[in-house]
Amino acid sequence: MARIRAQFQDYIHELQDEICSAMEQVDGKAKFQEDHWKRPGGGGGRSRVLQKGGLLEKAGVSTSVVHGPMPESLKEKMNTEGQDFFACGLSLVIHPESPLIPTVHANYRYFEMYDEEGRQLDGWFGGGTDLTPYYLDEADARHFHNCQKEHAEPHGTELYPAYKKQCDEYFWNHHRGEARGIGGTFYDYRKADEERQLEDWMAFNMDMGRSFLPGYLPIVEKHAGESYSEEQRYWQELRRGRYVEFNLVHDRGTLFGLQTKGRTESILMSLPPRVRWDYNYQPPEGSPEQELVAVLQNPRPWADE
């Protein structure tokens, strides 16, 4: 599958350039700092981080191409006899300063597994994009979801509803009984089968990556000039605490990166710079903050509303 590896690597690097350029333009002040790193055991990556911008408090857009022996802990978790792996992908998290602009996360990846003779045992695509608002704007939610639906439907009308459901289930803080955000799409282990070849899943994954900017940028631009209070900023930092909890407790990507000796700074670039935990904080009944929590506890079918 050398051709697929090469094509997808080119794609994630081009997408990284496109997203970083667009986010620098909308921020209007700061630039991404680029950091090349090598992974002990094989491969490396290109991390880009923007901090203390005019609009974005912290934004990380990272690509990686890594390979090497499968850690025993992952072999057990994945129930595989694979000895070596190859993985490449793009991962991003954007934390705007304004609590009226949602945080957003996206990841698009390809994985291969090999036996002890170097023969490929398996290969699959995965990815997704999800939105984490601090104040609910239903028009934003519908726009974000409809954009992903429109990019998914040419590859099968059944894909968006299935992966929207998977997103709601995956980005769920089980210990809190609520979603991390209002979802989007999430999919993994998309392999060749009777209906689709691996190239078809690559085309789907690429189109989902292309849905990111038209899905998110209009939301950023819509709220960029709106004023907000210190109380709203405080609420944002409380909700960021829940974001951190998910990433460190439940996220498989974080676990994979740390267990395969990935670069810690790049893996944890998803964490926000300002965050807080207050003991047993409950938003006032009937408040905008309580409205958001109610939706996080009961996900809605945004694209169908």
Residues belonging to the active site: 105
Alpha helices (H) in 125-197, listed in sequence order: 138-152, 159-170
Containing 214, the helix (H) or strand (E) segment is helix 212-223
- Picking from 105, 128, 111, the residue whose alpha carbon sits closest to that of residue 205 is 128
- Provide DSSP, 195-209: S--HHHHHHHHHHHH
- Describe the strand order of the beta sheet including 43-51 as a list of residue ranges: 33-38, 43-51, 56-69, 84-96, 103-114, 120-132, 183-190
> What is the sign of the dihedral through the CA atoms of 264, 270, 272 and 278?
negative
How far apart (Å, rounded) are the C-alpha atoms in residues 59 and 76? 34
- Picking from 225, 142, 151, the residue whose alpha carbon sits closest to that of residue 187 is 151
Per the CB < 8 A criterion, the answer to whether 191 and 122 are in contact is yes
Distance of CA 223 to the CA centre of its chain: 21
How far apart (Å, rounded) are the C-alpha atoms in residues 157 and 143? 18
Return the bridge partners of 95, or none: 58
**Dihedral-angle region of residue 102 (phi above 0 means left; psi in -120 to 50 means alpha; beta otherwise):** beta
